Amino acid sequence: MDTSRISSTRLTDKKCVPCNLKELRPMNEDAARTLMPQVTEWNLANEDGVMKLRRSWTVKTFNKGLEFFRRVAALAENEGHHPDLHLVGWNNVTIEIWTHAIGGLTENDFILAAKIDKLDVLDLLRRKPSD
Ligand SMILES: C[C@H](O)[C@H](O)[C@H]1CNC2=NC(N)=NC(=O)C2=N1
């Protein structure tokens, strides 16, 4: 059987595509909402018409926040897709993801968010995300 055309729809099984592809278009809010169930810890934000994914964590120390970023950076480099990283008030890590090249959300952003969720960062957190 030729399985080459069968691709999983799970975000974590996908890989980000380069953002400079001509055919890349920002998804509308309906399309974004259909993917949100796969990244339930993330919020959909709309800043001046630009949709973004946003999630926050509370880390134990400032240094653990930096370590958090190092782990995310390794993933982002591997995907060729990069989040905005904020370390606010020493122990709040906030990550925003959108596709800068086109000023909106693409599947890349959801893939990156889903893969960030899979990182083992529990040792860095002051409390578990759901607390
Ligand atoms: C060619 C390459 O995909 C682009 O330069 C990438 C790099 N990482 C990126 N990351 C994000 N979030 N948005 C971009 O537009 C972007 N561009």
From 100, 102, 109, the mutation candidate for ligand 1 (largest count of ligand atoms within 8 A of CB) is 100
Q: Is the pLDDT of residue 5 over 70?
A: no
Q: Please tell me the distance between residue 72's alpha carbon and the centre of ligand 1 in angstroms.
A: 15
- CA 88 to chain centroid: 18
Burial class (CB in 10 A: 0-12, 13-18, 19+), 92: middle
User: Could you give the ipTM of this predicted complex?
Assistant: 0.94
pLDDT in tens, 54-67: 999 999 999 999 99
Q: What is the DSSP letter of 130?
A: T
In which domain, by residue range, is 116 found? Answer: 25-122
Does the residue 20 lie in any domain?
A: no
Question: In this predicted structure, what is the pLDDT of residue 4?
Answer: 41
More confident residue, 22 or 73: 73
Evaluate whether 126 touches 58 at the Cβ level (below 8 Å): yes
Beta carbon of 40 within 6 Å of any ligand 1 atom: no
Q: What CATH number does the domain containing 39 carry?
A: 3.30.1360.20
Question: In this predicted structure, what is the pLDDT of residue 2?
Answer: 47
Residue 42, token pair as written in the block: 């993330």
Question: In this predicted structure, what is the pLDDT of residue 98?
Answer: 98
Question: In this predicted structure, what is the pLDDT of residue 112?
Answer: 98
pLDDT in tens, 100-125: 999 999 999 999 999 999 999 999 99
Beta carbon of 103 within 6 Å of any ligand 1 atom: no
- In the chain, the percentage of residues whose pLDDT exceeds 90 is 85
CA separation for the pair 76, 43 (Å, rounded): 19
Helices within the chain (DSSP H only): 29-35, 62-79, 107-118
Residue 64, token pair as written in the block: 């653990």
Does the residue 57 lie in any domain?
A: yes
Helix (H) or strand (E) holding 52: strand 50-58
Beta carbon of 15 within 6 Å of any ligand 1 atom: no
Does the residue 11 lie in any domain?
A: no
14-32 burial string, b = 16+ CB within 10 Å, else e? bebbebeeeebebbeeeeb
**Banded pLDDT at 81 (limits 50, 70, 90):** very high
Query: How many domains does the chain contain in total?
Result: 1
Atom in ligand 1 nearest the alpha carbon of residue 99: 13
